[in-house]
Amino acid sequence: MAVSNLERLIFGVEDLARCATFWTDFGLQQTRHDAEQIDMETEEGTRICLRSMHDSRLPGTPEGGQTVRETVWGVSDLDSLREVAARLSDLDSFRDEGSSVHAVDPGGHAIAFEVSRRRKLGATAVTQFNSSNSAARVNSPAPLYPRAIPQHLAHIVYLCPELDKVSSFYRERLGFRLTDSYPGHAIFLQCPGAQDHHNLYLLRRGTAVGFHHVAFDLRDIHELFAGGLYMQKQGWPTFLGPGRHPVSSAYFWYFKHPGGGAAEYDFDTDVIVEGWQPRELVPSPELFAEWALPEGIERYSGEQKTRV
């Protein structure tokens, strides 16, 4: 069975236009805009879908309010979709719509599966970095980006009190792999067709449930800072960052999403393939973030808006 990637997130939000502006500023390309839904996509074609939180056709949510209402996973082909259907068909929440399969995981999160429309990213120039004993870039300045253009929809994070129960569901029924964990506190899972350090992160924070954030990969560290500075200039408040996660090696910058949770820029996340040994880690502030700025970076020129 090949669950290959995180395909799209369907949000239920109060203000469609404001949320669409957020994702446009974040760097996604709008591909649909009508009375029912606004779709925004990455360079690879994975998507954020915005719908009214009052749309009765949306699945329920364990947390209420504005949030992700359904997490859609991509599969490699129709045979894989049929296999997913067979593995989930005994659930009371199971629904098979032919081209998609729907259910609810043990944490109360609505999930769906469909054949992925993700595009293979074309070859792009790799940014060269210089060091004291390696001159990879000569007579050529490093790139400056006006903003970020997210390439890849990398992972989603759920707040989840019953970590083991929910983790077992994804691992045993859907073939997700454990990559790392903070036993009793958090679990990192990779879908079987991926190489990301994690595509699903389950996090325990007391009895809190629901969506926490979604992450997108960028081309290099320069783009991460450019994207963050651009978002600040547009007035979107930082949730945390910039900073660096030791557990996945990734640089990050999170922004508060007006439709619930947060959106994260990522760069230089670990690639995990067969042979990796999952680690059991002791949670600490230093392991969560080697370093992090809590409110972004102060700009020394230009005017900065403030959005509320």
Instruction: Write the DSSP assignment of 43-62 as a string of letters.
Output: TTS-EEEEEETT-TTS---S
Q: What is the pLDDT of residue 125?
A: 66
Q: What is the pLDDT of residue 121?
A: 87
Over 80: is that where the pLDDT of 299 sits? no
Tens-digit pLDDT profile for residues 25-35: 999 999 999 98
Tens-digit pLDDT profile for residues 240-261: 999 999 999 999 999 999 999 9
Token representation of residue 211:
């969506």
Q: What is the pLDDT of residue 29?
A: 98
Smallest Cα–Cα separation from 86: which of 105, 71, 99, 101? 101
Q: What is the pLDDT of residue 1?
A: 60
Tens-digit pLDDT profile for residues 194-225: 999 999 999 999 999 999 999 999 999 999 99
So where are the chain's domains?
Answer: 3-119+149-292
Is CATH 1.10.10.10 the classification given to domain 3-119+149-292?
no
Tens-digit pLDDT profile for residues 115-153: 999 998 876 667 888 988 999 889 999 999 999 999 999
- The SS3 call for residue 231 is helix
Out of 166-170, 284-288, 303-307, least confident range: 303-307
The CA distances from residue 97 to 87, 100, 169, in Å, are: 15, 5, 22
* Distance in angstroms (rounded) separating the CA atoms of residues 73 and 87: 15
Give Cβ neighbours of residue 148 (< 8 Å, ≥ 6 apart): 26, 27, 218, 223, 224, 226, 227, 228, 230, 265
Over 80: is that where the pLDDT of 112 sits? yes
Please give the helix or strand (H or E) that residue 252 lies within, else none: strand 251-256
Over 70: is that where the pLDDT of 186 sits? yes
Q: What is the pLDDT of residue 107?
A: 96
- The stretch 175-188 carries a mean pLDDT of 97
Give Cβ neighbours of residue 304 (< 8 Å, ≥ 6 apart): 232, 233, 235
Over 70: is that where the pLDDT of 280 sits? yes
Q: What is the pLDDT of residue 303?
A: 55
Specify the higher pLDDT residue, 93 or 136: 93
Over 70: is that where the pLDDT of 302 sits? no
Percent of the chain with pLDDT over 90: 86
- The stretch 296-303 carries a mean pLDDT of 70
Per-residue pLDDT band at 2 (split at 50, 70, 90) = confident
- The stretch 44-61 carries a mean pLDDT of 96
Per-residue pLDDT band at 113 (split at 50, 70, 90) = very high
